[in-house]
Structure 1
Amino acid sequence: MFIFRSVVGKLWLTIIGLVAVVLLILGFFLVNYMGNYFSQAEDQKASLEKLANRFSEEAARHFNDNRFFSLSNELLANQEARMLVVTQDMKEITSDVTPNVEIAVLHAEDFFSPSQLKQVFSGQTIKNQVITKQKNGYQDGTEYLAVAVPLRTDAGEIVGATVIYQSLQSLEATQSNVLRLFIYVSIMGFLMTTFFAFFLFSRITRPLQQLKKAADHITEGEYGTRVPILSKDEIGELAKTFNHMGDELQDSIKALSQEKEHLSSVLRSMTDAVITLNAEGEVILTNPQGQRIIQEWSIIHWKDDPTGARQTDSLVEQAGLVSGAYPQQRIPEPLQPLFESVVAESMEAAAKVHVLNGVWSVAMTPLYSHDQVRGAVAVLRDVTEEFRLDKLRKDFVANVSHELRTPISMLQGYSEALLDGIAATPEEQGELVQVIYDESLRMGRLVGDLLDLARMEAGHLELNFREMEVVSLLKRVHRKFAVLAKERGIVLSAKLPEQDIILPRADEDRLEQVLTNLLDNAFRHTASGARIEVKAERAVYKDQSALRIEVTDEGQGIPAADLPFIFERFYKADKARTRGPSGGTGLGLAIVKNIVESHQGVISAQSALGQGTTFTILLPYDAK
């Protein structure tokens, strides 16, 4: 039961036990005392016998004096006793008891049999202890002590018997009263104990329950919970200490919350992704960037290549994206080998991870707890652009080296041929000189393009902005390539707007360079009999009036895999490394893109193998 598990129940049982022990000890001594007291009732028989002998002597002198017997019974009535005299012929001599005497009027035959009386007549003394029975419709039921002594005259002659009987009801009543008093005291003791227990409940248990409720509220996060101080005793001191503890706890929680918020703010403001892992590889803390990476990488199918490296499958599981049911947040597959190495060796490590089209730099450090590695902290940075630029730098060096190596080799070879006199005739010497001249022009164009591109990318390209007429520019470019088109059997057409378009701020020379590069590229990849068209019209770009220029050819087209990279330096869709004397430098489209973007415009390309290519330029009118 609950009461036996509570403090009040335990105190109540303790006090009840103490009271019960005290009552048992008291009862033990009381029983001994009562036993000793009632054992002295045997002495009462001797006293009653002496009293009977005294009254018997006086009764012999006043044998015929009724007043003597009346006074004697009045005296004996104070001791709940009565005297009567029995003659030898079995007749009783007595007197009526006064009204205030409460002892029953009995006879000698109620206590002694005739034979016993005869023994008294013969000089013996007989004592009996009897309980009276119903007589004449009167039920007494009282225990009496009766003594019969011989009644002697002064001469010593026995003339009868003197009988004195005394009620033992006073002893029994005393015993009953003592027992009743003991029971009453026991009941009162238990009642007072119970009352005291409930008093303790109000004084002790209720404050403790208030403390328990306050502790439960604090456990639920209500750190401002306090208990009232109702006394200055130990309970009051406990409540005071509890409130002080609550204040300290609230201050500590507030400080921890501020520190946590500060740490969260730092993590949220970081551009790098932070992922904290436990020893089992489960994610325990991330910042938003890290959470995004976990969600994105968790829906990618991973597979092992023959060398054991992780690769991504081209298929992405869309069900996770639709339902939002991501797998359990564990360490992403690409980080698993690095995590195992860091945890096993307890040393920080760094690596680059390739996921889909991105490259991530990962720095992972062991997470310690009491000199034990309990996980790791990984910091991921997207270095895709840096990786791409580094790759472009390496490719640029390789391409420049290749592009310069070819003309230099030719210059060196033909020059050695001239020095060695291999060309015997003036015609052969002229051919060798012509080749050397063409290769020097090619190297000049390459160096010029490299310088232009370097200035553009560094933001040092000087542009002369002024108002420009679009139609006149297109006509001039058309005339420039008309002769070349006729020589190669290519149909070159220009579709111009009916009303001239005026660009308020444009560098006409640079835009002419853009169109020249595009048309030069179109002529190199367009066969005889095909068409090349230049088209200009009004358009809208980013909610602004714009000029759209399209250069369309019917050449061999560009593969779809190469189309996103054609504006990069030295990128060649045909992967050819050798070019003729009139070949391009591989920088034309990169230069075109930089010039268009410097005019706040954009250039794009649409192409398919065998269906030609269309370059589209959008230049806003009011570009600043």
Structure 2
Amino acid sequence: MNTLTIILLAFGGISLGIASVYFYIFARSKERFLQFWGLCWVSYSCSLLLLILGRGEGPHVFLALRKAFDLYNILFLLYGVYSFQNLRIPGYWARFSFYLLIWVSLAVIYNFDLMSLYVPTSTYQVCATFTICYLIIRFWEVPDIEKLASVIIFGLWGFGKVAISIIEIIYPDNIPVFYLAEVIFSNVLNFMVVVIYLQRAESKLYVAEKQFKLIAENASDVIFFYKINPAAFSYITPSVEKLLGYLPRDFYENAEFYLQLVSPEDQPTICKLFDYKALNDENRRELRVFRKNGQPIWAEISTTLVFENGEPIALEGVIRDITDMKMAQEQMLVSKKSREVFLSYISHELKTPVTSLLAYITALRGDTFESEEQRSDAIEVIYKKTLTLERLIYDLFQLSKLETKQFSFEFMVIDGQDLAASLINEHGLDIKNAGLKLVNKVDTAALDGTSVIVDEARIHQVFSNIIANAIRFSRKGGTIKISFGLDAKRKNLEFSVRDYGVGIAAKDIPYIFDRFYRVDSGERSAREDTSGLGMTISKEIVEAHNGTITARSRLQRGSTFTVSLPLYIEKDMDQTS
């Protein structure tokens, strides 16, 4: 075995080794161009083996088969170039290669001369090489210097293979030198292919890194990477400044900066999230954290262990603002509790009069009452209890429609002085009939020329509820004061009703507009005959007018309820329209 044979065998082995590397990389990355280029070098390795077998006086069939493998060597190289830019591979290349295989078979069978065998296949190689160079220039998205180098290397390989085929025929004695040049150049081509792959991998890595950075830096959540040994924050997204008010460098400079985010009692909990020895694969906690300005928010902090060679090396973590979710959960709990209380009150409010009604009706049916006067009193009680039930059911119906925005209003423009006079005239008599003194204070000068947009009947309902409460809480012979005027900014019409009765404790004031809320007062309970919904309905009606209703009170000093309704200003309305 001479030196040339040894060299060819060595390079054949190298080509097979390179092909194996390509197939290994392909198996991991699924890049099709690597698969085709791997097949390219398998074909070239077979070509070198057949060259060794066909040298000297070897059978003519080995050289013919070598040419067939050279054909597929350039074909798979071409397919790899197509796949590198995800271009569709035309079917005619495979068809023409199949036709040429038939031609090679005929050449072997009928013992054609080498020129007849090589010319058709070499023509195919030239066309394929031109196409390779065109595709690189036209479609490859690589830097210009790499594109130029690729065209030169791929072009020299394709055209060089054709030239060597012709030289084999014309100068058979000098061919070993060209064989050596071919195998050396094949490795240059392999090196070029590896460079192209690495550049593509680097480009994809750069794009992926850029996309990750874009996502991370624009995420509302805070994403961080925390090294275990030595303990330190190696990365934290800029969103930490927006969420917590701290800069990323605050975390980089202090490995335990997370302790400053929570109160002392929560520090053991957050420490567990950063203690890799105590962690499972993923850990999550909901904690109350504090922004740099001291504002508390609810945050969900989760950490996940990152492993390398089976050993934990870092923590990936996310800090997410869940304040809105927490508030929604609390509102749901409050709503559920409110609904339960509401149903409890309804059952209680209905049960009391129904039980009383049933007792009186049973007594009437059994002729329990001895005199006609007792029977008449019982019927009167039944009538009053029935009215109470009717009022409760009506109030519940009204409240339900108000809260679901199904309540209809008939708004109209009403003069401020006319509204004041209407309310006083209609409800003032109720105060006098209750044995109380009425004091009016109407600022006619302030109300002159003013108007409001209201549903007059609903405002009367609100006024009636307030007056009824004032009467109920007033002591016998007491005074109720009604005032009408404008607020300090002269943008709202205000009316207030003040009584000098038992008053309401400060702790009860925030809840007096809640459904069925009852003040714990012996004096009040002794005169309790309402549905407990009047003030709730009044608040809903006033707010539907874009107004406000407020209450001030002191025990044993009385209470003041004030309603504020926005004035109708014609000039502003014209500008709006």
TM-score (norm 2): 0.50
> What is the identity, as a one-letter code, of the residue corresponding to 1:490?
L
Task: Select between 579-588 and 606-615 the one with higher mean Cα deviation.
Answer: 579-588
For the 8 Å contact 1:469–1:501, the answer to whether it is kept is yes
Q: Where do 5+ consecutive residues of structure 2 fail to align?
A: 1-190, 247-256
Please give the alpha-carbon distance, in whole angstroms, between the structure 2 residues aligned to 1:408 and 1:402.
10
Shift of 1:517: 0.8
2:564 maps to 1:611: no
Structure 1 residues 267 and 532, CA gap change in structure 2 (3 angstroms): same
**Structure 1 291/473 Cα, relative in aligned 2: closer, same or farther at 3 Å?**
same
Helix, strand or coil for the counterpart of 2:475? coil
Q: Counterpart of 2:373 in structure 1: which amino acid?
A: E
TM superposition shift of 1:522: 1.3
Which residue of 255, 277, 283 corresponds with 2:208?
Answer: 255
Name the counterpart of 1:511: 459
Q: In structure 2, what is the equivalent of residue 410 of structure 1?
A: 356
Q: Note closer, same or farther for the CA distance 1:243–1:289 as it changes in structure 2 (3 Å cut).
A: same
Q: Distance in 1 between matches of 2:499 and 2:232?
A: 57
Change (3 A) 1:622 1:341: same
Q: How does 1:515-594 map to 2 (within 5 A)?
A: 515-539=463-487, 545-574=491-520, 583-594=529-540
2:334 is the counterpart of 1:388: yes
> How many angstroms apart in 1 are the aligned matches of 2:399 and 2:232?
49
Question: For residues 258 and 302 of structure 2, what CA distance do their matches in structure 1 show?
Answer: 26
For 1:501 and 1:442, the matched residues in 2 are separated by 41
The one-letter code of the counterpart of 2:513 is: F
State how far apart, in whole Å, the 2-side matches of 1:590 and 1:540 are: 26
Greater Cα shift, 445-454 or 377-386: 377-386
Letter in 1 for 2:453: R
Q: Does residue 328 of structure 1 match 2:260? A: yes
Q: Distance in 1 between matches of 2:232 and 2:481?
A: 61
Q: Summarize deviations over 1:194-235 as a string: whole Å, max 9, x none.
A: xxxxxxxxxxxxxxxxxxxxxxxxxxxxxxxxxxxxxxxxxx
Sort the Cα spacing of 1:354 and 1:242 in 2 relative to 1 into closer, same or farther, 3 A: closer
Q: Distance in 1 between matches of 2:200 and 2:400?
A: 66
Residue 367 (structure 1) aligns with: 304
Distance change (3 Å), C-alpha of 1:525 and 1:365: same
Q: Which amino acid aligns with 2:457?
A: D
Distance 1:408 1:619, change over 3 A: same
Amino acid at match of 1:558: I
| 1:460 corresponds to which of 376, 384, 406 | 406
Aligned letter for 2:501?
Answer: G
Offset of residue 277 of structure 1: 9.9
- When structure 1 is superposed on structure 2, of 403-412 and 489-498 the one drifting more is 489-498
**1:277–1:331: 8 Å Cα contact kept in structure 2?**
no
Residue deviations 1:329-386 (CA, integer Å, cap 9, x gap): 358856966996997676878989999xx99998776634349795775753222333
SS in structure 1 at match of 2:502: coil
Distance 2:501 2:300 in 1: 49
Aligned to 1:427: 373
Matches of 2:240 and 2:558, distance apart in 1: 43
> What is the identity, as a one-letter code, of the residue corresponding to 2:304?
L
1:57 match: none
CA RMSD of the aligned region, Å?
A: 5.2
- Kindly state the Cα deviation for residue 253 of structure 1 after the two structures are TM-superposed: 4.8
Letter in 2 for 1:465: F
- Return 5+ residue gaps in structure 1 as ranges: 1-237, 269-273, 296-324
- Considering fraction of residues, name the structure with more strand: 1
Q: Which residue in the other structure is 1:436 paired with?
A: 382
Deviations 1:69-100 (A, max 9, x none): xxxxxxxxxxxxxxxxxxxxxxxxxxxxxxxx
1:67-106 maps to which residues of 2 (within 5 A)? none
Contact 1:279–1:376 at 8 Å: present in 2 too? no
Determine which of 547, 557, 572 is the counterpart of 1:601.
547
State the aligned residue count. Answer: 359
8 Å Cα contact 2:547/2:564 also seen in 1: yes
1:255 to partner: Cα distance:
3.4
Change (3 A) 1:285 1:607: farther
Q: Secondary structure at the match of 1:562?
A: helix
CA deviation digits over 1:512-546, x for unaligned, max 9? 111111111111112134322111112366xx732
**Amino acid of the structure 2 residue aligned with 1:530:** G
Kindly state the Cα deviation for residue 547 of structure 1 after the two structures are TM-superposed: 0.8
Answer whether contact 1:537 1:548 (CA < 8 A) is retained: yes
Paired residue secondary structure (2:220): helix
State how far apart, in whole Å, the 2-side matches of 1:242 and 1:332 are: 56
Q: Does the 8 Å contact 1:456/1:594 carry over to 2?
A: yes
> Are the aligned partners of 1:533 and 1:552 in contact in 2 as well (CA < 8 Å)?
yes
Select the structure that is richer in helix.
2
C-alpha spacing 1:338/1:576, structure 2 compared with 1 (3 Å): farther
CA distance in 2 between counterparts of 1:277 and 1:610 reads 64
Deviates more, 1:468-477 or 1:327-336: 327-336
Matches within 5 A, 1:135-174: none
Deviation at 1:394, TM superposition (A): 1.9
Q: Verify the 8 A CA contact 2:216 2:223 in the aligned structure 1.
A: no
Aligned mates of 1:279, 1:434 — CA distance in 2: 83
Going from structure 1 to structure 2, the CA distance change for 1:549 and 1:486 (only over 3 Å counts) comes to closer
Q: Using structure 1 for the length normalisation, give the TM-score.
A: 0.47
Match for residue 436 of structure 2?
A: 490
Measure how far apart 1:453 and its partner are.
Answer: 0.9
Secondary structure at 2:562 match in 1: strand
User: Are the counterparts in 2 of residues 603 and 618 from structure 1 also a CA contact under 8 Å?
Assistant: yes
Once residues 262 and 616 of structure 1 are traced to their aligned partners in structure 2, the CA distance between those partners, rounded to angstroms, is 53
Q: Secondary structure at the match of 1:404?
A: helix
Instruction: Determine what percentage of the aligned residue pairs are the same residue.
Output: 25
CA distance in structure 2 between the aligned counterparts of 1:267 and 1:538, rounded to whole angstroms: 47
CA separation of 1:492 and 1:361: change in aligned 2, threshold 3 A: same
Bigger radius of gyration: 1
**Residue 602 of structure 1 contacts residue 617 of structure 1 at CA under 8 Å; is this kept in 2?**
yes
Structure 1 residue 579: Cα displacement: 5.1
Change in Cα spacing, 1:248 to 1:393, as seen in structure 2 (3 Å) is same
